[in-house]
Amino acid sequence: MGDNEQKAVQLMADAEKKLTSSKGFFGSLFGGSSKVEEAVECYQRAANMFKMAKKWSAAGNAFCEAANLHAKAGSRHDAATNYVDAANCYKKSDLNDAVGCLLKAIEIYTDMGRFTMAAKYHQSIAEIYESEAVDLERAVHHFEQAADYFRGEESNSSANKCLLKVAQYAAQLENYDKAIQIYEQVASSSLDNSLLKYSAKEYFFRAALCHLCIDVLNAQHAVERYQEQYPPFQDSREYKLIMTLIDHLEEQNLEGFTDAVKEYDSISRLDQWYTAVLLRIKKQINDNPDLR
């Protein structure tokens, strides 16, 4: 056992002693609350020593002990802060414990009306499920929660960032209607902002591809609506690709479809999301003998 870990273990023991003495008759008469405060300090110091020793689970446990004491004492902000500290340690050892601590922090922040903080930690949970635990349905749920809270606090940029994640994963999970609704919503809101309106082209493009995953005719009608909403869309390479793909789908032209995508990709590199969606659309040519 290293020096830092030994110090941390001793501090945990000291905290327990202080708590035990604070519960006795004399402790309750003479400075019981100060003993609890001292115990909290011991737990926090122990947590930092465990962190230095890279004992992440033990560090998380120590921060949780401090958080629980703060919560019992009514120090809600301090409790939430310590739960977040615990979560950051648990991320390196146990993702379920990390999520559990963040949920406790969120509960406190929502009770306090601190919805921006609650949104931030819903986003943190979503990112855990997105990249580390790889549970896209749970990631979508928490990105949606974050977006709702951000929007309620007029943090529309942060809300849209989370909503775009929801749309991305909704499409991956083949919930195309949901993805379309979000992409169209974010595109429309972008048109009202002079700095963001040029990004509407990408969101309309993504929405159109999702439409193509469902139905060619609806995709045509959707693209007509998009160019009415945002006339520059008609001059974009994205618009031209969509219209070309629609023609090739209607003609059952697999080679033409593939060539059109390759040509676009040679100039504007398609990421993994676009590639996956385009492959699903292309598969329709083989699976559906008559798309018209």
What residue type is 284 in one-letter code?
Q
Convert the pLDDT of each residue in 130-170 to its tens digit.
988 789 999 999 999 999 999 999 999 999 999 999 999 99
Angle of helix 115-127 versus helix 76-90 axis, rounded to 10: 10
Q: What amino acid is encoded at 110 in this protein? A: T
56 pLDDT tier (thresholds 50, 70, 90): very high
Provide the pLDDT for residue 31. 42
- Residue range 61-76: mean pLDDT, rounded: 94
Between 109 and 2, name the one with better pLDDT.
109
pTM of the full structure: 0.86
pLDDT confidence tier of residue 196, bands split at 50, 70 and 90? confident
Asked if residues 183 and 167 have their Cβ atoms less than 8 Å apart, the reply is yes
Instruction: Supply the pLDDT for residue 134.
Output: 80
Question: Could you write out the DSSP letters of every residue in 223-251?
Answer: HHHHHHH-GGGGGSHHHHHHHHHHHHHHT
| Predicted pLDDT of residue 250 | 92
Contact predicate 254/285, CB 8 Å:
yes
Alpha-carbon distance 221 to 212, whole Å? 11
**Whether pLDDT at 7 is above 80:** yes
If phi over 0 gives left and psi between -120 and 50 gives alpha, with beta otherwise, what is residue 114? beta
Instruction: Supply the mean pLDDT for the chain.
Output: 91
Residue type, 50: F
Is 179 strand, coil or helix?
A: helix
Q: Decide if 261 contacts 278 (C-beta within 8 A).
A: yes
Angle between helices 176-191 and 216-229 (to 10 degrees): 10
Neighbours of 34 (CB within 10 A): 12
Tokens of 82: 């310590």
CA distances in angstroms from 244 to 29, 161, 204, 236, 290, listed in the order given: 82, 30, 16, 13, 18
Task: Please state, in angstroms and rounded to a whole number, the distance separating the CA atoms of residues 117 and 150.
Answer: 9
Is the per-residue pLDDT at 246 higher than 50? yes
For residue 92, what pLDDT is reported?
A: 94
**How many helices (H) and strands (E) are present in the chain, helices listed first?**
15, 0
Rounded CA-CA distance 288/99 in Å is 44
Mean per-residue pLDDT, 201-207: 96
> Contact at 8 Å (CB) between 119 and 143?
no
Q: Tell me the pLDDT tens digit for each residue of 35-49.
A: 888 999 999 999 999
Distance of alpha carbon 212 from alpha carbon 207, whole angstroms: 9
Percentage of the chain beyond pLDDT 70 is 93
pLDDT at 107: 97
Phi, psi of 215 (to 5 degrees): -160, 130
DSSP state of 272: H
Q: What is the mean pLDDT of residues 164-191?
A: 95
CA nearest to 5, candidates 83, 58, 64: 58
Distance CA(186)–CA(144), nearest Å, equals 14
Residue 192 is encoded by which pair of tokens?
A: 């009202």
